[in-house]
Amino acid sequence: MNIIISAPAHPFLMETLKQKGYEVIYEPDITYEGLSEIINTASGLIVTTRLKIDASILDKAVQLKWIGRIGSGMELIDTHYAASKNIQCESSPEGNCTTVGEHCLGLLLSLMNRIHHSYDEIKMGKWLRDSNRADELTGKKVGIIGFGNTGAAFAKLLSGFDVQILAHDIYKTNFDTAQIKQVSLQQIQQEAEVISLHLPLTSLTRYYANDSFFESCQQSPYFLSTCRGGVTDTAALLKAIQNQLVRGAGLDVLENEQLATYSAQEQALLQQLIACPNFILTPHIAGYSHEAYLKMAKILLEKLGII
């Protein structure tokens, strides 16, 4: 039985599959076309966010029994069509939710304490204190939109701070605690001094954070997103920063993360964002810790019934 691994994966994944008698085809750089040519030989497929697994691929996957997604987010897999072919689809968001939560907290504390910006100034020979005066997280209202694995993990980390958490999720209810209050989106926009997005990318959430979203935020909040780039309208975010609708923004994702493919317009927009002293960007690494790399592999194998 052949298993195709179409993305970088922890060695534990390959080693375990081989121990269980599978033949592993490790092609972390395989193209869509390359996968199309060999998918007919596979009984299992491991993917991340790089390749689209659509009906065309699935029609050629005549032996495929399952698709394993390392991490969270199934937007590139046609799960409905896969189900019609009795192909099991599993992901492992539980494996990296803790590190995503920690990364969110890191982005937020860096923004609120002017850490990255003041360090950039020091590298230019500037030692400025008054202009880098911090905002305390303690006492703030933090809005979390999307209370799944990563949203809940962020809330857990925030429990060590004296904050009130306002959480909104259209699929979950009854998760109130002494510190967490389930609220509407409108209440978050009215009251939250920090807003963090933890949403999948779907037809409903594409450009969720758009002009109207930012214009409705009444507290000029710090804005965070570590979910999917397409959930935030980059141009709208830039305008929100420039018009002080948000106090600062920290992203781990972009609409287009292939910087080498940028048009002149995309490049200009990114450069304007990067030039903002109250903006910070990391290269989609929030869920990519060494620990999460292993945990995602283990959880995926458990869900697939291999271990």
For the domain 97-281, what is the CATH code?
3.40.50.720
Instruction: In whole angstroms, give the CA distance from residue 214 to residue 227.
Output: 17
**Location of each CATH 3.40.50.720 domain in the chain:** 2-93+290-303, 97-281
What was the pLDDT predicted at 100?
A: 98
Extended beta strands in the chain, E state: 2-5, 23-26, 42-47, 66-69, 88-91, 141-145, 164-168, 180-182, 194-197, 222-225, 248-251, 279-281
Instruction: In whole angstroms, give the CA distance from residue 291 to residue 240.
Output: 35
Q: Are 225 and 233 a contacting pair, CB within 8 Å?
A: no
What was the pLDDT predicted at 1?
A: 86
Q: How far is CA 18 from the centre of its chain?
A: 30
Which parts of the chain register pLDDT below 50? Answer: none
What was the pLDDT predicted at 183?
A: 97
Strand partners, 194: 142, 222
- What is the CATH class of 2-93+290-303? alpha beta
pTM of the predicted model, to two decimals?
0.93
What was the pLDDT predicted at 117?
A: 96
Let me know how long the chain is.
307
